[in-house]
A = this chain, B = another copy of it.
């Protein structure tokens, strides 16, 4: 879809968007240099990244702030509603179901799935917890295209396989396993403990 943009640039676009949204109502224009200074990045890089969007910088004044925000939101699909599900309603899954930040990116959490009968039929922050035995049916009926995996590691790959079969396009995986998915689906593995250990090794 956005095949012309390097992944590293794409990953920085939400960073710009978050920063720009923090700016007060008095700010009408912003230059790539000001963004770069605020975020501790190089100005050329910022300008290159923003050039992938439809935003047009103007000589001397920079970007119109509202236009730049709109261009980033458009590029990141924030205005296209996408349904997402959280697989595994343990501590992490429940925390994510309660997290309000998905809406900023047009992501609507529609359900959680779990295999615990004491959780099934209940809800977290208004999102129903459905039986993971009905995962395939639920994902299809709810039109889920994004999923976050928060199940124990031994179930993670089989859950991912089922999600892909049901047409899920993007998976964020918190189980400490490297999940393999076929082309047409993208996965990112976030092993929190490993991340922290690696950061420590780098310091």
Residues of A within 8 A of B (CB): 1-2, 7, 10-11, 13-15, 18-19, 39-40, 75-78, 82, 84, 90-92, 94-96, 98-99, 101-102, 104-107, 145-146, 148, 153, 169-172, 176-178, 180, 184-203
Contact = CB atoms under 8 A, between A and B. Distances in A.
A186 B174 CA distance: 21
A20 B128 CA distance: 37
Given A91-B99, A95-B90, A195 B190 contact: yes
How many copies the complex holds: the figure is 2
10 contacts: A2-B201, A76-B201, A92-B95, A92-B99, A101-B176, A101-B192, A105-B197, A146-B196, A170-B200, A187-B199
Contacts of A187: 199
The listed residue with most B CB atoms (<10 A of its CB), out of A78, A95, A106, is: A95
A172 B197 contact: no
A19 B191 CA distance: 13
A23 B132 CA distance: 27
Contacts of A202: 1-2, 7, 10, 170, 186
A57 B26 CA distance: 62
The listed residue with most B CB atoms (<10 A of its CB), out of A96, A101, A198, is: A198
A199 B176 contact: no
A107 B196 contact: yes
A77 B14 contact: no
Contact of A105 (B2, B77, B90, B196): B196
A188 B199 contact: yes
Contacts of A94: 91, 95
Given A15-B191, A91-B98, A172-B199, 14 more contacts: A11-B198, A14-B198, A39-B178, A75-B201, A101-B193, A102-B193, A105-B193, A105-B197, A145-B200, A172-B192, A172-B196, A184-B203, A186-B202, A190-B195
B193 A104 contact: yes
Contact of A194 (B92, B105, B189, B190): B105
